[in-house]
Structure 1
Amino acid sequence: MPQLLLFGSDLVAVTVLVFGLYVPRHRRRDLVVAYLGVNIGVLAVAGSLGAAGAGAGLGLGFALFGVLSIIRLRSTELDQQEVAYYFCALALGILGALDATPLWRPVAMMALLLAVMYVGDHPRLLRGHRRQVMVLDTAVTDDAALLAHLQRLLGTRVYSANVERVDLVNDTTVVDVRYAGPSRVVTLDRDKVLR
């Protein structure tokens, strides 16, 4: 009976993670099935290994190997936030499959994971910080000149600028910029888009 309660707790936790936190904040439908699949898959494998008498370490190792392989060999690029949701879904599945004597401990850990994801991915957290990959129409090799150019272009303070590529032939610079600024939310008028 305690194992069924843990399975149920995992289902509730992954539902809150995916449909209560991830979908309202990120709106990527394609990752919903991935998070649910990783969680339930890990829960099923770890639960079966635990019932068969295999050590929890074996199940944990299998789960981590599988998720790391999926993330490493992915076909589409994921943001760091999405990777964090993958690991949270994985951890919830592992916690749900534990054969824990005090039932409250894995449930408390599930709640802690959800609380951390709620706070860490909250839209108000660091909302004055922006990140953008920019392609500049000039090749800039001097760091101070690049910083001055970006601050002039953006009209705000630049925290960091990581040069990804300088093309001297085509006279372009690709730079990952982190800067201060209000968070912009772009909304589309559906009627205008469909015309």
Structure 2
Amino acid sequence: MISQLVLFAIDICAVAILVFGLYFPRHRRRDLVVAYLGVNIGVLAVASALSTSDVGAGLGLGMALFGVLSIIRLRSTELDQHEVAYYFSALALGILGALSTTSVWLNGGLMALILAVLFFGDHPRLLRRYRHQILVLDSAITDHVKLIAHLEQLLDARVYTATVQRLDLVNETTVVDVRYALTGRDMTAGRSLAVEPVHSGAH
């Protein structure tokens, strides 16, 4: 009983660090703060209740995973990949907090490992030159080599991949998915490009 309460306390501290120490200061999306907290505490409560009943813990954890996958699959707003990672981390913390049959130190260490991975993996300085953007160009460019050259000049960056999603020859527009790395431009300017689509005026 005491070990279970200790794990509950560790989980609450861990999800607080996850949400208020890592996610929100870096991404500033308030609605997902509620989602991560709700997923964590909900899974913690359900898994804890199932661990003391005749229902198999594996079945309970499988249902919890299915529920979270359904939420992510049927979401009404778009989630980035790093936000999906935070979802699963909040889920994993809740599961570890409910597994009182294992060592408290082991579960606490695994929680700390999850937080450490997100701290470094989602750090703003990690691979900060690399960007992913969907651009809308106000010109229809059919030649791939010319498209790459145009994008590199526009972004002042080295373009690694450029996948055309829509080419409109009537309205003279090109929608392209670009993966690139900044070269000589200011990083702050590069971050602004990663948020909003770029409209090119060149033909």
TM-score of the alignment, normalized to the shorter chain, above 0.5:
yes
Q: Decide whether aligned partners of structure 1 residues 142 and 100 sit closer, same or farther in structure 2, where only a CA change above 3 A counts.
A: farther
Map of 2:126 onto structure 1: 125
User: Deviation of residue 101 (structure 1)?
Assistant: 3.2
Q: What is the match of residue 137 of structure 1?
A: 138
List structure 1 segments (4+ residues) > 6 angstroms apart after TM superposition: none
Q: Which amino acid aligns with 1:87?
A: F
Runs (5+) with no aligned partner, structure 2:
193-203
CA contact (8 A) 1:157 1:180 kept: yes
- Are residue 161 (structure 1) and residue 165 (structure 2) matched? no
Question: Are 1:149 and 2:150 counterparts?
Answer: yes
Distance in 2 (alpha carbons) for counterparts of 1:45 and 1:183: 44
- After TM superposition, list the pairs within 5 Å mapping 1:1-195 onto structure 2: 1-181=2-182, 182-184=186-188
- Give the drift of 1:168: 2.2
Tell me the secondary structure at the aligned position of residue 163 of structure 2: strand
Tell me the secondary structure at the aligned position of residue 76 of structure 1.
Answer: coil
Distance 1:108 1:53, change over 3 A: farther
- How many aligned residue pairs are there? 186
Task: Compare 78-87 and 50-59 and name the one that shifted more.
Answer: 50-59
Deviation at 1:163, TM superposition (A): 1.9
Residues 74-122 of structure 1, C-alpha deviations (whole Å, 9 max, x = no match): 0100111111100100010111111233221111110000000000000
CA distance in 1, matches of 2:178, 2:169: 20
Structure 1 residue matching 2:123: 3-state secondary structure = coil
Decide which moves more: 98-107 or 114-123.
98-107
- Could you tell me the TM-score, scaled by structure 2's length? 0.87
User: Shift of residue 55 of structure 1?
Assistant: 2.0
Q: Which moved more, 1:5-14 or 1:154-163?
A: 154-163
In 1, Cα distance between equivalents of 2:137 and 2:128: 25
Give per-residue Cα distances to partners, 1:2-32, cap 9 Å, x unaligned.
1111111110100000000001100111110
State the 1:171 CA deviation: 1.6
Kept after mapping to 2: 8 A contact 1:134/1:176: yes
Q: Partner amino acid for 2:61?
A: L
Q: TM-score, normalised by structure 1?
A: 0.90
**CA-based RMSD:** 1.4
Find the aligned partners of 2:5 and 2:153 in 1 and give their Cα distance. Answer: 60
Sequence identity (%): 68
**Structure 1 residue ranges without an equivalent (≥5):** 187-195
Amino acid at match of 1:130: R
Alignment check: 8 A CA contact 1:100 1:106 kept: no
Q: What SS class does the counterpart of residue 141 from structure 2 fall into?
A: coil
The one-letter code matched in structure 1 to 2:75 is R
Q: Greater shift after overlay, 2-11 or 149-158?
A: 149-158
Q: 1:140-183 CA deviation, whole Å, 9 max, x = no partner?
A: 23322211121122222112212222222212111121222243
**Deviation sequence 1:25-67 (CA, Å, 0-9, x none):** 0011111000000000111111111111322211210111010
Q: Distance in 2 between matches of 1:131 and 1:59?
A: 38
Q: Is the Cα contact below 8 Å between 1:35 and 1:89 reproduced in 2?
A: yes
| Alpha-carbon separation, structure 2, partners of 1:94 and 1:169 | 54
State the AA in 1 paired with 2:73.
R
Distance of 2:64 and 2:163 partners within structure 1: 34
Residue 126 of structure 1, CA deviation: 0.5
